[in-house]
Amino acid sequence: MPAEGLFTGTKTMTRDEGYYATLVHELVHWTGPAHRLNRQMGKRFGDKAYAAEELVAEIGAAFLCAELGITQSVRPDHAQYLANWLQLLKDDGHAVFAAAARASEAAAFLRKGRSPS
């Protein structure tokens, strides 16, 4: 995580909301390794597993931000991911459902501190 002081507010999101929205995104990634929820993480930007993991992290962060009352704002770096997500969704019509299911598992894991099963 970048230092909290590096975050700035926007017209739609406070500095604190930017920090915590990023934190929950990164925490969703944290749930992915084999000893937690065992998601395929991907090796590099642009590969399908990486794109899927980023989609899981974004959806999971959206779930958690909504639950915690944190406003999220679209950031300029999201555009870099959109092309990869669009390709993933074109290649697999069920990808968004799989990502949402994994995001829900991650949110439950973070809430409970353990696997939801």
Tell me the C-alpha to C-alpha distance, in Å, between residue 57 and each of 5, 31, 75.
23, 10, 15
| C-alpha triplet 16, 17, 22: angle, nearest 5° | 100
Name the pTM for this structure: 0.86
Per-residue pLDDT at 47: 82
| CA R_g for the chain | 14
- Judge whether 9 lies within some domain: no
> Among 16-25, 56-65, 67-76, where is mean pLDDT lowest?
67-76
Which domain covers residue 86, as residue numbers?
14-112
Mean pLDDT of 72-98: 80
- Judge whether 19 lies within some domain: yes
pLDDT tens digit sequence for 7-58: 988 888 899 999 999 999 999 999 999 999 999 887 776 688 888 998 999 9
Token pair 């920090």 in the structure block, residue: 19
In the structure encoding, which two tokens stand for residue 41, read together?
Answer: 């993480």
Per-residue pLDDT at 109: 96
Token pair 């974004």 in the structure block, residue: 58
Per-residue pLDDT at 84: 79
- Judge whether 8 lies within some domain: no
- Judge whether 7 lies within some domain: no
Give me the amino acid identity at 45. Answer: F
H-type helices in the chain, by residue range? 15-30, 48-68, 78-91, 95-112
- Judge whether 2 lies within some domain: no
Per-residue pLDDT at 27: 97
- Judge whether 85 lies within some domain: yes
Domain count within the chain: 1
Of 113, 45, 115, 117, which is closest to residue 81 (Cα–Cα)? Answer: 45
Q: Is the pLDDT of residue 83 over 60?
A: yes
